Amino acid sequence: MGIDRTSPYLKVPASARWRDSMAGRSPESINPHAGPSFLLGAGDRIASAGSCFAQRISESLRARGYNYLITEQGPPFVDEAAKRELGYGVYSARYGNIYTVLQLVQLFQRAFGRFEPQEPLWTNGEGRFVDPFRPGVQPGGFASESECLWDRASHLKAVRRVFEEADVLIFTLGLTESWVSADDGAVFPVCPGAGLGGRFDPERHLFHNFTLTEVVEHLETFLALLAEVNPSARVILTVSPVPLIATFEPRHVLQSTVYSKSVLRVACEEIIRRHDHVHYFASYEIVTATGDTRRYFQDDRREVADEAVAHVIDCFGQQFLGGDAPVAAPAPPPAAVAGPSSNKPLCDENEILKAMADLAASSTTA
């Protein structure tokens, strides 16, 4: 019995049919988007934030000569490689990685004076000072408390400009698991005492795994806040394909990863259905579902392979940049300046892994 000519199946585009868009295709030929929803213009000021995977997108935009908005440039005499080490130009401002949506909301609130967390500055092993809300931006820590606070004030001023001036904000959602202050609900990007400074206090530092409802609510809150200061800004949401480094739920890390990514992915869906100016880019799908995971992840099954990143960037170009053509003289990408050894995103979680390895090594040798 054949399909009836009236069947809606016959009217869906090829990209909607698995057989035409997925079956038998090489991973790199798959673009899990139906077509461009809008194109970034050469003059559009594009800002970005999010988990470490978001750095790949910002690098690509800068490399292609797009007007990537950077409001916190760093000392002018510092070269690109050193700036990157110091967290300048990695994102639009020097906020480091933003893993959860509530962290983004609170960054906005702090920048506009609507929230002042009670968490004091952290100190690291060398007695230097660390900003708990961007602990990885100053390797080795700040020299003094006053320097750290001065830098924070200047940073938040730069953050205000990001939200006020961006035409497009790309936000990569990374995690649902987080560490929250019992004092006032301030969200930390990393657990205190996990290698980037501070001391963990179980009375004050609480684990929390955000629910779908909470993530959607946080996204709504952020969009409302952004609209207050920048009504015309568009937003692109993506979900990082990088699995959790560890889970604090009493279960296997793979289960927690799938939960977390599922919540984030569904939250994005909820939001783009509600807001026309918010778009979704399928980074997560490109990396996890188009190829075999042995090619698109490194041997640790966590770090995304360069091949997969190239695929993501290529799709991003087709989806938002109108193909590959650069629209302006390309700026050298930070990675190109820094050389191959710096060609990895600056991930707080990697610092935690390193700290754990160092601790294990010192325990073994002690």
Partner 1 sequence: MKVEVVGRPTTIHLVGESHCVQFSDTLARVPGAEETLLCRVRYLREVTASNCDATFQQVLDALKAEGVLDPGGNADWLVSDVNAVYLSGRPMLAPPIVFFMGDVDLQTLFQLLRDEYDFELPDDPGYGVDRNKTPMPLAAVQQQIEATYRPFEAMLQALRPVFPRLMVHGLPPRTPDDAKAARWTGGVTVAAAVRSKMTVLANRRLAGICAALDIPFLDTWAETSLDGYLHPDFELDGLHLNQRATAVSLSAIAAALYDHTAPTHNPFRYQLLRIAAPPYDGPRDEAAERDWSARGIAIGRLDPADTRRWASGLSFDAGAANPAAHPHWVGYPRGGRPGVATARLSSERLEAAAASLGSPAARRLFQAGEAMDYGQVFLRPIALDPGQAAAADLPTPLECRRALVCLDDGGAVELETTEGAAIQTLAAREGLLVVYDPRRVRCRARAEASVARFAEIGLAHRPASHPFRVVAPGLCDWPADPFHYTVKDAPAWPPFAHDLVHERSPA
Applying CB under 8 A, which part among 3-11, 149-157, 161-169, 316-324 lies near partner 1? 149-157
Q: Please give the residues from 287 up to 326 whose contact with partner 1 meets the rule CB under 8 A.
A: none
- The span from the first CA to the last CA of the chain, in angstroms, equals 75
Residue 140 near partner 1 by CB under 8 A: yes
| Among residues 144, 211, 213, 298, the one that binds partner 1 under rule CB under 8 A | 144
CB-wise, 139 or 326, nearer to partner 1? 139
| Among residues 59, 151, 285, 348, the one that binds partner 1 under rule CB under 8 A | 151
CB-wise, 146 or 211, nearer to partner 1? 146
The count of residues interacting with partner 1 (CB under 8 A) is 19
| Among residues 14, 153, 329, 366, the one that binds partner 1 under rule CB under 8 A | 153
| Among residues 125, 139, 326, 330, the one that binds partner 1 under rule CB under 8 A | 139
Which residues, in sequence order, are bridge partners of residue 297?
A: 304
Least Cβ distance, residue 165 to partner 1 (angstroms): 17
| Among residues 75, 113, 250, 339, the one that binds partner 1 under rule CB under 8 A | 75
Residue 86 near partner 1 by CB under 8 A: yes
Applying CB under 8 A, which part among 73-81, 119-127, 251-259, 299-307 lies near partner 1? 73-81
Least Cβ distance, residue 95 to partner 1 (angstroms): 15
CB-wise, 130 or 168, nearer to partner 1? 130
- Contact residues for partner 1, defined by CB under 8 A: 74-78, 82, 86, 138-140, 142-144, 146-147, 150-151, 153-154
